[in-house]
Structure 1
Amino acid sequence: MDSYMDNLVRSFSQINKTLAGVIEANRGQGTGLYGMYNDAHFLSIKLLNHAVSMNKIFQSTDLIELDGLSLSFCDYSSIIALARSSIETYLVFFWLFISPKSISERNLTYLSWRLTGSNLRLKFSSLKDENDPVMAAEKTHNQELMRKIKRSAEWKRMSAGKRDSYLKRLKQNHGVRPQWNDLIVASELSNGFKYTYKFFCEHAHSGRTAVCQIYTSHNDIVAQRQMCGLPLKMVRFVIACLIIDYSKLFKPSAKWLSANEEHYQRALLHSDLAKIGLG
């Protein structure tokens, strides 16, 4: 690898360690099995798992052919897919726990997100026997979430027209979650994230760009690794943003970060760079 990629991979590994540190600092804090903060915790672990997997894939894979020929490659396409999911994971975390302007708004947003998941599970369960106990429990859970939404302070402040519109959006596959580009703007990530995210989607959807890049690099592991620079850099940015935001929610994590100056400065630097579009 060249010096740029060496430094980037080293920096990526370091920011992963910082995220692991703030998550570990919050271990065993009793957030509750189905609590809002428990979901915040495991969304963060989801992003960490993606990042660790990206790092592992980058190291290359040895494939043994039947004739004994050993091939080595870096699966750039998998790294792109993980990078896309990493950006989405951070944006959902931001939308649920950082963006709301009040506790009541956060409660409604969180309940609506959970209801969307329940609606999807019911769609998957539609092929089962309607008397299936798991399906019955999900229906009960779904109904209870809807009751909580309608009892919430934010719901009561809505006009009748806004309530009708909100109910229609709740039935969509992504529920009331804003579009990804709108969340990129709301989270104050740089405009570069809009174009990068679109590119990652094009690759994940097996567009022509994905095929061309694989064609031009399929016999060159150095070229494959160099193409990983963009996804590694963008995920490093969102990890840094998540570290700062996660520490706003969990006091043990904020305490750990303040006690580890090097980790704090690393997260602060890259979260700032994520918003001004440098790095």
Structure 2
Amino acid sequence: MLNETDLSEYKILGNVMLSVSSAIKGQEATDFEISIEDIFRKFFQHYTTAIQIYTHPTQIDTNGAIALVVDHSSIKVVTRSAIESYLTFFWIFESTIRNPEMREFRFSIWILTSLYWRVKLTGLSEEFAKNISESKEYIAKLEFDFKTLSIFSKLQSKDKTQCLKCIRSGRELYNRPSWKKLMEQSGIDPFFCQLYTYLCDYSHTGSISTMQIRESNTTPGQERFSKVPLQMNMIIAAKFIRGFGKFFDVANDTLEQHESASIVNFYAQMGETSLESLGIT
């Protein structure tokens, strides 16, 4: 289980996230910056949900006997979503910070692909159907603008066709590496890249996930299976906080002046070293 220091520092990282995001409130923002803030907020919600599940076990009344259940499966699933939120930010924004043309290209792919997925939905209310109709008009304009982007214009004809096919499928982000590959590219230690696939196993109900459910019949056992994903959350949170500051000077200033900046740096560096630093070798 997490010790008192771990729990305290988990909450501290959450407070730093609130501080840096609050620092940019009221400022004019571009579409890019609004989306960065939205992804950051999504990560924060996953981050806080995971620790809430851990610190507030579910009480189950079984014939008058109260059993406490720490839902480590949900912690792992939520942690996976948190990681993918950061990696989306990394792929679109952080990795392209010196290449604005690539950033606009990936950003447009991200927006268009989701919109195409949305308009494929059927059997919805009249109000939603009206929104879908308006979305189609918006998509047409966005796709027209997308085709004028310099990176798209430079693609070979067959690559343009493949790119548009991916976008219009509403599923596949064109030329986006796998999540595991993105973790490697973001500088995260290979051990944690492997651990990500373990979290995916829980999301997809792999046999390992069911075996560990069977093995964790006690509250201490459930807490033990929760420890590593929560520590991964702390590592990704620290990396995201530092990445967020690259796009907002006032957020970066807030981080540098924050009394807990050293804790952010510690966990960010931990994710870039090896598993010995977690004491789990």
Output the TM-score relative to the length of structure 2: 0.90
- Alignment partners' CA distance in 1, 2:80 and 2:238: 16
> Deviation at 1:99?
1.0
> Deviation at 1:67?
4.1
Q: Does structure 1 residue 105 correspond to structure 2 residue 94?
A: no
> Deviation at 1:264?
2.0
**Structure 1: gaps of 5 or more residues:** none
The answer to which of 164-173 and 146-155 deviates more is: 164-173
Write the mapping of 1:226-245 to structure 2, written as runs, cut at 5 A.
226-245=224-243
Write the mapping of 1:217-228 to structure 2, written as runs, cut at 5 A.
217-218=216-217, 220-228=218-226
Corresponding residue for residue 73 of structure 1: 69
Which digits, 9 at most, give the CA deviation of each residue in 1:176-216, with x for residues without a partner? 23211221122111111221111001112112211211112
Corresponding residue for residue 205 of structure 2: 206
Q: What secondary structure, in the 3-state scheme, does the structure 1 residue paired with 2:49 have? A: helix
- Alignment partners' CA distance in 2, 1:265 and 1:237: 13
1:182/1:7 CA distance change after superposition, 3 Å: same
Question: Contact conserved, 2:36 with 2:89, CA < 8 A, in 1?
Answer: yes
Q: Does structure 1 residue 114 correspond to structure 2 residue 111?
A: yes
Task: Identify the match of residue 6 of structure 1 among 4, 7, 10.
Answer: 4
Q: Does structure 1 residue 49 correspond to structure 2 residue 45?
A: yes
Question: Contact conserved, 1:60 with 1:72, CA < 8 A, in 2?
Answer: no
Task: Identify the match of residue 144 of structure 1 among 141, 157, 174.
Answer: 141
1:59/1:20 CA distance change after superposition, 3 Å: same
- Alignment partners' CA distance in 2, 1:131 and 1:241: 37
Question: Contact conserved, 1:5 with 1:229, CA < 8 A, in 2?
Answer: no
Q: What secondary structure, in the 3-state scheme, does the structure 2 residue paired with 1:174 have? A: coil
Q: What secondary structure, in the 3-state scheme, does the structure 2 residue paired with 1:65 have? A: strand
User: What value does the CA root-mean-square deviation take over the aligned residues?
Assistant: 2.1
**Structure 2: gaps of 5 or more residues:** none
Aligned residues: 273
Q: Does structure 1 residue 188 correspond to structure 2 residue 184?
A: no
> Deviation at 1:107?
0.7
Question: Contact conserved, 2:245 with 2:251, CA < 8 A, in 1?
Answer: yes
- Alignment partners' CA distance in 2, 1:155 and 1:245: 27
> Deviation at 1:258?
1.8
Q: Does structure 1 residue 38 correspond to structure 2 residue 34?
A: yes
Question: Contact conserved, 1:8 with 1:232, CA < 8 A, in 2?
Answer: no
Identity of aligned residues (%): 22
- Alignment partners' CA distance in 2, 1:87 and 1:39: 17
